[in-house]
Amino acid sequence: MKIIRVTNVEKFSAQILPKQPQKNRSIVESILKNVQKNGDSAIRKYEKQFSGAKITSLRLSQNEINNAFSKVSKKEIIAIQQAKVRLEKTESIIKSILKNKTIYANGIKISKKFIPIQSVGCYIPGGLARYPSSVIMSVIPAKIAGVKRIVVVSPPNSDGNVDPLTVVTAKICGATEIYRIGGAQAIAALSYGTKSIIKVDKIVGPGGALVTLAKSMISDKTSIDMLAGPTELGIIADVTANPKYVALDLISQSEHSNDTFCFLITNSEKLAKSVNKIITELINKIKRSDYVKTSLKENGFIAICKNNSEMIKLANELSPEHLQIMTKNPNSFASKITSSGLILLGHDTPSSASDYLLGSNHILPTNKFGKTRGSLSVLDFIKTNTEVSTSKPVLSKISKHMELFTEAEGLPNHYEAVRGRIQ
């Protein structure tokens, strides 16, 4: 990894962020337009092109789902259930905060009701790895929220089959439909709808660069959760951190794909050199080393800052999806962090554990969107309904103030709609 001394945080953060190839936009735009126009046939074309799969039926049948269960071990099902139960507990507590309220003020009645979205599409990555954990993270909050139609899409392998563990997890968690499609074409299908797939109200879930870009590009038609991917990990560490732990954590997230964004921010040159040395020693001994090598070489870095204040400032500027704080006093650092998707405190809270079984959600904002939102949760699947009722006496009371506003804004008929009722 590159070791860089940071003298100007703003300048450094502007230069170091990975840039997506411009060709990606034209590729995704072409896929979206084709699926919108040609539906299922376009999807089959792209699945053949990208996965080599010749697909007839896009939706998995009940027999195929049953067959997937026969390929999954009892131990795997127990692990799925453990992760499911832990996330359910977190999401149920969040939902319990949302209570319907009726507000009476000045003769006006305003009701606030929290109701579930009617349908959602959950994108589950595949191809480079399999991600049953992403099924849990997207489907469970939707289920807890009360969403009736939960659609799971995931890329097939060259035989046209979806990973059995992904299928089983989707069924256990409460998905109502499962489709063997991936990539930007899956996002297009969920957004526009096809003969086989009814469009959804919202699309959630993580993905690679093309999927993330596709979500961004259809967001004027269909609601999305956030831009979630490729993965990002920032680590703030001082001299008290164990360099081996830091190295292992950077490796763990960078194994996702070639375009992850993983980095260390420290004020210790000794730690920087030790972490880099350990990564170099491990790199040829680990599995998925090609992804780790490319990712850390192309996008990774170790930033050496002058002091704690500069370390915090840089972390807030970069706004990583995951931010681990491995310092003498992590809580002090965390109190000043405002922009990361998830903060993991202490030397024994690795981001890899949060990806599975800590009860937190691993679908998190990337591309600096941690500045404005946190992880996917039950809140992403619930909307606020507002009901208002008033009366002629109330309209009469507000009439003169209403007239001032409508005159100022040049909208006289707004006032007439009130005046016509009270004369």
Q: What confidence tens digit (pLDDT) does each residue in 63-83 have?
A: 999 999 999 999 999 999 999
Please tell us whether the domain made up of 39-224 is placed in CATH 3.40.50.2000.
Answer: no
**Inter-CA distances, 217 with 27, 120, 142, 189, Å:** 12, 17, 23, 13
Residues 316-349: tens digit of each pLDDT: 999 999 999 999 999 999 999 999 999 999 999 9
Q: pLDDT at position 17, please?
A: 85
Q: Give the list of residues 6+ apart from residue 153 with CB closer than 8 angstroms, or none.
A: 121, 122, 123, 124, 178, 179, 181, 182, 186, 189, 190
The pLDDT of 361-373, averaged and rounded, is 95
The pLDDT of 246-275, averaged and rounded, is 97
What are the two backbone dihedrals, phi and then psi, of residue 288, each rounded to the nearest 5 degrees?
A: 55, 30
Residue type, 135: V
Q: pLDDT at position 214, please?
A: 97
Nearest C-alpha neighbor of 381 from the set 219, 166, 145: 145
Residues 276-309: tens digit of each pLDDT: 999 999 999 999 999 999 999 999 999 999 999 9
For residue 233, pLDDT over 70 is answered with yes
Peptide bond before 320: cis, by omega within 30 degrees of 0? no
For residue 399, pLDDT over 90 is answered with yes
Q: pLDDT at position 369, please?
A: 94
The pLDDT of 91-115, averaged and rounded, is 97
Q: pLDDT at position 42, please?
A: 98
Q: Do domains 2-19+230-373 and 39-224 have the same CATH topology?
A: yes
The pLDDT of 209-226, averaged and rounded, is 96
pLDDT band at 47 (very low <50, low <70, confident <90, very high): very high
- Helix then strand count (H, E) for the chain reads 17, 14
Q: pLDDT at position 126, please?
A: 86
Q: pLDDT at position 16, please?
A: 92
Computed over every residue of the chain, the mean pLDDT equals: 96
Tell how strand 232-237 and strand 322-326 pair up: parallel
DSSP state of 214: H
- Which positions are catalytic? 321-322
Please tell us whether the domain made up of 2-19+230-373 is placed in CATH 3.40.50.1980.
Answer: yes
Q: Where is average pLDDT lowest: 170-174, 206-210, 300-304, 410-414?
A: 206-210
Structural domain boundaries in the chain: 2-19+230-373, 39-224, 392-422
pLDDT band at 128 (very low <50, low <70, confident <90, very high): low
* Structural element, H or E, at residue 387: strand 382-389
> What is the percent of the chain where pLDDT is above 70?
100
For residue 129, pLDDT over 80 is answered with no
Residues 239-260: tens digit of each pLDDT: 999 999 999 999 999 999 999 9
Q: pLDDT at position 19, please?
A: 79
How far is 23 from 7, CA to CA, in rounded Å?
Answer: 33
What are the two backbone dihedrals, phi and then psi, of residue 179, each rounded to the nearest 5 degrees?
A: -125, 145
Dihedral sign computed on CA atoms, order 70, 71, 74, 79: negative
How far is 97 from 280, CA to CA, in rounded Å?
Answer: 48
Q: pLDDT at position 24, please?
A: 92
CB atoms within 10 A of CB 4: 16
